[in-house]
């Protein structure tokens, strides 16, 4: 019978799997934005070798399909408004699997080093004798703008790039909007779908113009990808009229205006930038 541990469950192990590593190995693997063909070769190798996988909500089904038969599966996904496994429990799970001498893959959406709590998991594994490695992945921001046929940086538009967690809006008070409101950089907000109005208000209040371009991209790189293009002034209303599902990235900057000139840009939801 499958074992269940506070929202973490796994299917049977040991069916046709290779011999366990004497000291265990934990690979913190970036699964990319969701499409299996955007995995790195190293990530694909580690997935094919896995005896146990601990995976997040944003790991795509196509990626999970690459796991070998008999691989233990532990789902520890986090979603806004839903129960999630505490981070300390995830770290303890990784340490326990490593202590059992297994080849463990911790699968994270995007890149594990970009808002992936990889530091906390490295700390949890520090006391084990396991081999630990980080396997980088394609972060969602790169995949999202590439899917729209535009760059994150451009000599004429943005000479700087900043990744920001929108969780700051909720958990740690008010972001430094004045530092973020620059015309020479691209901002990408992660985990910010519920904070669109606050982001627009903060950046406008710090000096960016009402017509400053903004784009929301949902399910980047996947067949169900959707996008919404507008401005700081009208994006909250646009989003209310045409809601997007999570996960969703928020891109702010003049590079967004390039969606109207790029021959690679796909058809998206309302695209006018007034």
Query: Looking at 9, 37, 62, 78, which residue is catalytic?
Result: 78
**Residues 6+ away with beta carbon under 8 Å from 3:** 9, 10
Cα gap 220→57, rounded to integer Å: 15
- Which residue in the block uniquely carries the two structure tokens 């999202």? 144
Tell me which residue of 80, 86, 28 sits closest to 55, measured CA to CA. 28
**Cα separation, 253 vs 274, whole angstroms:** 14
Whole-number Å distance between alpha carbons of 154 and 39: 26
Asked if 103 and 24 count as a contact pair (C-beta separation under 8 A), the reply is: yes
Q: Is 9 a catalytic residue?
A: no
- Residues 6+ positions from 76 with CB-CB distance below 8 Å: 7, 8, 54, 55, 56, 84, 85, 89, 90, 93
> Backbone phi, then psi, for 195, in 5-degree steps?
-115, 15
My answer on whether omega of the bond before 219 falls inside 30° of 0, hence cis, is no
Torsion angle (degrees, nearest 10) of CA 199, 264, 62, 88? -20
Could you confirm whether 56 is annotated as catalytic? yes
What DSSP designation does 212 have?
Answer: -
Place of tokens 């709590």: 117
Give the span between the Cα atoms of 170 and 70, in whole angstroms: 41
Write down the catalytic residue from 56, 111, 195, 234: 56
Q: Residue 139 has which token pair?
A: 């972060």
Rounded to 5 degrees, what are φ and ψ at 180?
-85, -20
Which positions are annotated as active-site residues? Answer: 56, 78
């Amino acid at each position: 019978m499958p074992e269940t541990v506070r929202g973490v469950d796994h299917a049977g192990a040991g069916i046709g799997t290779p011999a366990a590593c004497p000291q265990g190995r934990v690979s913190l693997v970036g699964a990319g934005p969701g499409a299996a063909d955007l995995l790195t070769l190293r990530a694909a190798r580690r997935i094919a070798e896995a005896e146990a996988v601990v995976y997040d909500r944003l790991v795509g089904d196509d990626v999970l399909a690459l796991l070998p038969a008999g691989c233990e599966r532990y789902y520890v996904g986090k979603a806004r408004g839903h129960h999630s496994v505490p981070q300390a429990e995830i770290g303890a799970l990784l340490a326990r699997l490593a202590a059992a001498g297994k080849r463990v893959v911790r699968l994270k959406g995007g890149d594990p080093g970009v808002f992936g709590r990889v530091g906390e998991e490295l700390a949890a594994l520090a006391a084990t004798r396991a081999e630990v490695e980080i396997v980088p992945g394609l972060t969602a921001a790169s995949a999202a703008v590439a899917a729209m046929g535009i760059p994150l940086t451009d000599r004429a538009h943005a000479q700087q790039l900043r990744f920001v967690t929108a969780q700051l809006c909720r958990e740690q008070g008010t972001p430094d909007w004045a530092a973020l409101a620059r015309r020479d950089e691209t901002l990408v907000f992660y985990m910010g779908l519920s904070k669109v109005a606050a982001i627009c208000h903060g950046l406008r209040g710090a000096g960016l113009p009402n017509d400053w371009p903004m784009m929301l991209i949902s399910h980047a790189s996947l067949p169900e990808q959707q996008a919404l293009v507008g401005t700081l002034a009208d994006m909250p209303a646009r989003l209310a009229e045409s809601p997007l599902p999570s996960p969703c990235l928020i891109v702010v900057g003049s590079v967004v205006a390039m969606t109207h000139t790029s021959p690679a840009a796909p058809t998206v939801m309302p695209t006018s930038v007034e």
